Amino acid sequence: MTHRPIALLFGVHAHQPAGNFDSVMEEAHLRCYRMFLQTVERYPDFRFSVHFSGWLLDWLIEHYPEDMARLAMMTRRGQVEWFGSGDCEPVLAAIPQRDRISQIRTLSDKIERVFGQRPKGAWLTERVWESVVVPSLADCGIEYVAVDDYHFLCAGESADRLDGHFTTEEDGRRLDLFPISEQARYRLPFSPAEEAIEWLEEQARAGRRAAVYFDDIEKFGIWPETYHWVYEQGWLTRFIEGVLGSPLIKTGSYAEFHATQPTRGIVYLPTTSYIEMNEWTLPAPAARAYHALLDQEKQADRFETRKSFLRGGMWRNFFMRYAESNWMHKRMLDASRRFADLPLTQRTLQMQEMLHRTQANDAYWHGLFGGLYLPHLRRAIWNNLLALESAIAAVSPRPPFERVDLDCDGHDELFLRSDTLQAVARADGDAALIEFSSFPLAHNFVDTLRRYDEGYHDKLREARSGDNAQHNGIASAHDRIAFRHAIHPDDATPDSRARAMFVDCWHPAKNSPQPLCDYREVSPATFSTAIGGGQLTKSYYVSGGRLLVRYQAQGATGQLKIQLNAAMPSCDGYLGRYVLENGSIPGGFGDPLKLASLQRLQLDDGVLGGSLLIEISQPVSLTAKAHQTVSQSEAGFEKIMQAVELNFSWPLDGTAQELSFVLKAHRQPA
């Protein structure tokens, strides 16, 4: 019996987060992107699709033009089909319609200008599907996208039909959808090349029209063990030669398949992402329950037939899970609105590029990958956001005081501004600063992250040594348990309060400490609470380059502990240091610091190119240490410094007393 060859629609997605370190980018290119391109270049008949995020593409064109010329040559000879998307890799569903269109068109224009091909297909960031994206994609000339076959199973489609494209519509626009094979994703490149070829041939013998593969190119060289496996042991070469040598497999482009094969019919997909992401979106208690349910179904050998009904959460849940992510997102949306409100003559391409970079997905979420837990990725969002706001303010100034519940948490935020500073106090029980930003430095000194309870922290207690081999191949990062740092279970103890500035705790003379979390606003940016039979008032003022925070106490005896969490880009690196009022340097930000008395402390940061100066109206004691979190990544569990935790202690004697802090941000001399 003669079998029709199966069309192998092979696509790879390449992305690095905006703001990633050059050293990381270089390693990714040398160990993955260059190696992959050099390998496939030798086989002109091996046709494949690529998606490079725009920010990465710009970086590669600047730093490795010869490899981009190689990719352009393969495009010209018809070997490569380009996929588009948002230029800075946003989750399209999480940004406004106007920004979806500008992001998609920017990347499509770039690809057409550099490589001579305008994309008809698009990659969806993290395969996050919401039907709201259909009109934006269609209006930008995108005809089809690739999402997981899991999306289709959740819509009730039969797995037997997932060998071609389907059609959906929204608001009068149509878009076709290709189902990415989960079985292919798990096999390539983790199982031996010969087994992968055999599986593809089995699919052909079963009469399937296409095997749809589109996944991270970083699995071909960057993920643990993959460089040795894919290149040094020749997996990719053997796979390509096996595909080209098989009469049952034919490589092709999505565009060709789409043009020659009819749609499988109409489909309406639910809001979802890939199955691992749906678990990561859940808060820890729900994630544990969900994971237990999945394990139960796997042990009962029911998982494959029921997984489409075990959907977990949705991507936007990250804004619910992490207050820091939600704050960045709502600040980004506000900046987008203000940019859109400018007259066209006042908008610039530089402003639009900064806006696009504030929408890069990586810093807004967390799962197997660091994302939100990586300070340099969050910092890239804040750098661009504050630079954009400075540019907008130059043509459309903002008022010195605003009140709005921007993050939809039920509490107003109070914005206090000057030309150079912005302080944001939340009118809740803590009455703390959730943002303290310097516009000249384009830095938010409260860009930190509290310790959260994460479902995967259970692995800290369960981890054990063993062979992680999968089949006869290598283990996917999803299946590995490794440790990049020595981690104690106490390192993952969740915080009970937000990591902010001017978070207060009352230590009575004889009783246990009492967190001050019942402040009430008595006038704009002034808050009051009862302590020890007396009263404490806290007020915020911004003027010029100074933030003034004034405490006034009456009738209380004990110690007031005032905590400032300061995000310093050097973290525990050698470019960050404390400087005392006498000019001495007691250590770096990663070192513990204890002083019986001080009135002036400067935090110098070479990465920031600036410093934070704290001046206090009278001597207080200080203890300082690094605030660290524990997170997982594809390389293993790691501890990451998020901020400097500064704890000031002010003794109260029952009389009327006052203590003031002045904070100033300075740029270092060139």
Give the residues across from 7 on adjacent strands. 210, 250
Give the residues across from 210 on adjacent strands. 7
Q: How far apart (Å, rounded) are the C-alpha atoms in residues 136 and 121?
A: 13
Q: How far apart (Å, rounded) are the C-alpha atoms in residues 455 and 631?
A: 11
Q: How far apart (Å, rounded) are the C-alpha atoms in residues 21 and 16?
A: 10
Judge if the upstream peptide bond of residue 96 is cis by omega within 30 degrees of 0: no
User: Tokens 């109070």, residue?
Assistant: 414
Instruction: Output the DSSP codes for 358-408.
Output: HT-GGGG--SSS-GGG-HHHHHHHHHHHHHHHHHHHHHSPPPSEEEE-TT-
Grouping H, G, I as helix, E, B as strand and the rest as coil, residue 115 is helix
Give the residues across from 84 on adjacent strands. 122
Instruction: Output the DSSP codes for 262-284.
Output: ----B--PPSB--HHHHHHTS-H
Grouping H, G, I as helix, E, B as strand and the rest as coil, residue 418 is coil
User: Which pair of structure tokens corresponds to residue 390?
Assistant: 């400075």
Residues 526, 427 contacting (CB under 8 angstroms)? no
Phi and psi torsions of 173, nearest 5°: -110, 145
How many helices (H) and strands (E) would you count in the chain? 20, 26
Residues 8, 196 contacting (CB under 8 angstroms)? no
Active-site positions? 126, 216
Rg (CA), the chain: 27
Q: How far apart (Å, rounded) are the C-alpha atoms in residues 404 and 425?
A: 11
